[in-house]
Amino acid sequence: MNHHSGINQTFSFNRWTKLLLFHWMVNRKRYLLALPAMAGLLLVWESFILAMNTFQPLDKGFQGMTYYAGLYAVGCLYASMTFAESGTKAQGIAWLATPASALEKLLCGLLYSAIAFFVVYNLVFYLVDIPMVRIANGLIENGRRTWPGGPRIDSVQIFNVGKGGLNDHSEGWDHLFVLFYFALQSAFALGSIYFDRYAFVKTGVAVMIALGCFMILQQRIIDPTLPHGWHRQNFYDWIVDWDTLRARGVRLSPTLGAVLGAMLIYGIPIVCWTATYFRIKEKEV
């Protein structure tokens, strides 16, 4: 019956750029208003800490926690609005009727909510954080602050998300926070098309339930399959109980471990984005 198919019906760069422009035109007010709101909140929060912490305000760990708290909260909130237009009959028809493919609509939503948001969030964060750290260092320098009975307080450094490092021991691992953010963000983007109303709250509940099920799976299904005295250390390492026997570890082959790790770290966004694509295709209004 249908003779009209081909790659052009799945993706056309020309059509996609039109969709990006259309999305920007419709949503730019919302996006542009969010910038000063984010910057303002960050400024108030860091100013409050500057005023309250009389020893070492805005240390790297604190900046990092602020960065991740903001990224997770605002990022997931924005992600839950990615495909919000599909939730009402009037807006949903207008969105689905726009002559673009499901893939183009998905990529348009993800470009704004996942990539553009991440870039803009970083810009806003450092635009506020860098001057605030300078002020903090000025206070430390001028106040000649020392820890009670201890050495002089060092100046604080700017938190570098590229290097991670909430503290000196965690460098090299913090990128997992960023990767987990993208996993969570992708779940909220899926929720925005899955739930017609209250997508943020409903997705939050769904994520909690999924995490709960994952923990139950580990504790009730995987752990009982281990020999007596053995415990799970992570997904691919097991050790004998430290209290009763000398520690012995068993681990999967490095390749298998790497594959499992990569699936957990990178797989969730891909699974969620794929599910979102099919949800757009099967969306009815």
Partner 1 sequence: MVTIRDLHFAYRRRMVFSGLSLDLTPGHIYGLLGRNGTGKSTLLRSIGGFLFPRQGDIDVLGYTPGKRQPDFLQRIFLLPEELFLPPLPVRRWVRVQAAFYPRFSQEQFNKLAAGFSLPLDGRLDEMSYGQQKKVLICFALATNADLLLMDEPTNGLDIVSKSQFRKVMAGAVDANNCIVISTHQVKDLENLIDRVTIIDEGRILFDQTIDAISRTLLFRLSYDPKEAAAAIYSESSFRGNALILPNSTGEENAPDLEMLYKAVMLRGEQLNLLFK
96 makes contact with partner 1 (CB under 8 A): yes
Nearest distance from C-beta of residue 143 to partner 1, angstroms: 50
> Which of 80, 82, 101, 276 touches partner 1 (CB under 8 A)?
101
4 makes contact with partner 1 (CB under 8 A): yes
Nearest distance from C-beta of residue 7 to partner 1, angstroms: 12
φ/ψ of 249, rounded to 5, equals -115, 150
100 makes contact with partner 1 (CB under 8 A): yes
205 makes contact with partner 1 (CB under 8 A): no
- Please give the residues from 28 up to 57 whose contact with partner 1 meets the rule CB under 8 A: 29
Nearest distance from C-beta of residue 13 to partner 1, angstroms: 13
> Which of 77, 93, 210, 222 touches partner 1 (CB under 8 A)?
93
CB closer to partner 1 out of 90 and 221: 90
91 makes contact with partner 1 (CB under 8 A): yes
> Which of 52, 90, 221, 247 touches partner 1 (CB under 8 A)?
90
| Site size toward partner 1, by CB under 8 A | 34
25 makes contact with partner 1 (CB under 8 A): yes
Residues lying near partner 1 in the complex (CB under 8 A): 1-5, 8-9, 12, 15, 18, 21-22, 25-26, 29, 88-94, 96-102, 104, 281-282, 284-285
